[in-house]
A = this chain, B = another copy of it.
Amino acid sequence: MNKGILFLIPCSISDAPAAAQLSPRVLHELPSINSFLVEDVRTARRFLSSLKVFPSIENLRFDVLDKDTKAVEVESLLSPLLQGRSIGVISESGCPGVADPGALAVKYAHRMNVKVVPLVGPSSILLALMASGLNGQQFAFHGYLPIGPEIQRAIRESEKESLAKKQTQIFIETPYRNNQVFIHLTKTLKESTMLCVAIDITGSNEQIRTQRVGEWRQQKTEWPKLPAVFLILAE
């Protein structure tokens, strides 16, 4: 029997209608899938419902794959693949497998010799890098900056690494900490370091701005509480 396929299905990263930001192939493949691994069932149902490709989402199966899912559970969640049924992985925001728990499912799919197909959609990390004008030939993504007094040391180390490797350093932040992290970055980084702040990418409040830390310091900036990506390049 042919095995099913593990499809990696991107979803919207902003208030913009999802269908405008997803590649048409997503809508083309979805009708062949009726089982989904999702971070949050409610938002995944709402997302699929908004795409209007299923006559009803009541017949779809949703299982939770989040940061608390154990490896042994993942194996059993993926077992329908061995019976020829395809499964879709959907993240809370953007591309499954990037800055989310989806990679665990993919890892087991490879172990089971199951085909993995990534579909094209929005990634705030990649879009921020594109729009930053910083080095796109060498870059590193670090997730979140540490909370607490650790943050300044982490910023300084990241700046040092950026300078040594000419490597763009990328961080994400949860909306309510944007201003706090921005203040830490502008206080701690060197004047000559380039800093890009990318807020609400693809959304109605999208703002992407790159300038030297010295220039940021001369302005009073207040960021909205929306998803943000911070990128630095030391020069």
Contacts and interface: CB of A to CB of B under 8 A. Distances in A.
A23 B22 contact: yes
Contacts of A103: 132-137
B138 A142 contact: yes
A20 B23 contact: yes
Contact of A140 (B105, B140, B143): B140
A19 B24 contact: yes
A202 interface: yes
Contacts of A185: none
A97 B21 contact: no
Interface residues of A, number: 58
A168 B140 CA distance: 9
Interface stretch (A49-57, A58-66, A207-215): A207-215
A97 B140 contact: no
Nearest to A139: B141
Interface in A20-42: 20-25, 28
Residue of A23, A24, A167, A206 with most partner-chain B CB within 10 A: A23
B106 A130 contact: yes
Nearest to A140: B140
A81 interface: no
Interface stretch (A110-118, A145-153, A174-182, A217-225): A110-118
A25 to B, nearest CB: 5
Interface of A: 8, 19-25, 28, 95-100, 102-110, 116-118, 120-123, 125-143, 167, 201-202, 206, 208-211
Given A103-B135, A139-B141, 10 more contacts: A20-B25, A96-B130, A97-B133, A99-B137, A102-B136, A103-B132, A105-B133, A109-B133, A110-B133, A120-B122
